[in-house]
A and B are shown apart, each in its own frame.
Chain A
Amino acid sequence: MKSIIALEDVSKRFGPFTALESISLDVAEGEFVSIVGTSGCGKSTLLRLVAGLMPTSGGSIRIADREVTGPTDDVGIAFQTPVLLPWRNVRQNIELPLEVRKLDVGRHQAELTRMIDLVGLRGFEDRHPYQLSGGMQQRVALCRALIHDPSLVLMDEPFGALDAMTREQMNLEIQRIWMETKKTIVLITHSIIEAVFLADRIVVMQSRPGRIASVIDVKLPRPRSFTDIATPEFQDACNQVRLLMNATGFTE
């Protein structure tokens, strides 16, 4: 399959500190890739590089065969923190990318309402960020990342502040959106179960310096449901990731 993201021997240094070293990875179009690894191993940094938000120190990153030199158009990002604009309400925050990118806000209203419903924020459209819980803010940020219908979505622990139930629901929604729209999704997560549940491939990173320890294929059939978690196949996949992470000096 055609690769949409191609990382070749990418490295990133902050002064004398090497955050990432010899990262090579291809993400195919329509693929779902999860990235797991210890805190501080460079996951967010990797995402920022792919998003074109900071320059690499070495190697090359290509998105859709174009060298990344800055932010790319067809990409949606959900950051590790929600970073909502405090003076805008939920609806206006989600509309922000449309306004900034000069897209037709009116034309996206139906989609916007559907997404607000989907993430369970109906009735909160007119609230401001300070009137929302942390998890609700994250869901707004997720809608904002998806509203302009990008074909590549980068997510940095988007569900960290959600309770287990809502998190499972959001995972199901993400899986549904992904299966329906054939987007390419890269998801950073701390949850092994989430990684296995959603991903086609799991990238396990190790730290100091940040590198890819290994890449695991998850061959579970789709659509996956949370009742599958108990199946031996699912448990096998989880254990495989867990073992690898232990081997890189990390226990969850």
Chain B
Amino acid sequence: MKSAYYPLGTFVVFVLGWYAISILFEVPAYLLPRPEAVIERLGQDFGYLMRHAWVTTYETLGGFLLSVLIGVPLAFIIVSSSIVEKAIMPWLVLSQTFPKVALAPLIVVWFGLGIVPKILVTFLVAFFPVVISTVVGLRSMENEMLELARSMKASRFQIFWRFRLPLALPSLFSGLKVSVAFSVVGAVIAEWVGATEGLGYLLLTANANLDTALLFAVLAILTVLGIVLYYAVEMFEQRLIPWHASVRLKEVPAL
């Protein structure tokens, strides 16, 4: 648990800096609220905030799960067929330079105002890291490992399940961690277009009303949401690939 001291220390320094700035420069509250005002707001509107946070959470999870459900099999297909790879990989890469926010209004036009367009936008933002990291992972088998498998007369199926897939997990998980963080961003962006609830929607209304205390409260909740989801994936990773260096060698000296 000692490792928690460091980020907590950073947090304290951050809050103190926040105080110092708002007091020293006499920043008006509508620009930068005091930390206690934000905390007060969090307490006051707790139920209200949680209701919206819940909406954003399931949009995030929905988009993330969709990313995994589509991204991982897509990576399998890309790796096993060079034709598919050549046909879609350039488009996938190109699609990443495309601002997905710009698609949000279109998606609203197509799919209405409900949950579906939100999940779709989240998916668009979050699925790329899953695909890429899974592809890289599945390709990471060294030649010697393949020779070992072949020397035992492993079938293609066995090579995939017993060798390639386990070897891909470390890379896949680093992609999942990026993706889950992107999902939160995706859900917020999605709620900027045609939404009536969710933390993204709250951000917009708070902004319109110059209600910076609410704005900061929402940001705090978003941060917590992102951290919780990230560590949930990481916990899952530790259960699944305890043998991998990224998991075992947490306590390595800095470079």
Contact = CB atoms under 8 A, between A and B. Distances in A.
Given A83-B145, A100-B162, A130 B248 contact: yes
A224 interface: no
B39 interface: no
Given A100-B158, A130-B248, A71 B150 contact: yes
Contacts of B142: 83
Name, among A70, A100, A130, the residue most crowded by chain B CB atoms within 10 Å (CB to CB).
A100
Interface string B124-161: 00000000000000000010110111111110001000
B151 A53 contact: yes
Given A81-B144, A100-B158, A130-B248, A87 B151 contact: no
Main secondary structure of the interface of A (DSSP, over half): loop
Interface residues of B, number: 20
B166 to A, nearest CB: 5
Contacts of A70: 150, 153
B153 A101 contact: yes
Contact of B154 (A79, A87, A100): A100
Contacts, number: 49
A96 B163 CA distance: 11
Contacts of A86: 243-244
Contact of A130 (B145, B148, B162, B243): B243
Nearest to A73: B153
A77 B145 CA distance: 12
Interface in B184-205: none
A81 B145 CA distance: 10
B241 interface: yes
Given A83-B144, A130-B248, A97 B152 contact: yes
B152 A48 contact: no
29 contacts: A51-B147, A51-B151, A53-B147, A53-B151, A70-B153, A71-B150, A71-B153, A75-B151, A77-B151, A79-B144, A79-B147, A79-B148, A81-B144, A83-B142, A83-B144, A83-B147, A83-B148, A86-B243, A86-B244, A87-B166, A87-B241, A87-B243, A96-B152, A99-B162, A100-B152, A100-B153, A100-B154, A128-B243, A130-B243
Interface of B: 142, 144-145, 147-154, 158, 162-163, 166, 241, 243-245, 248
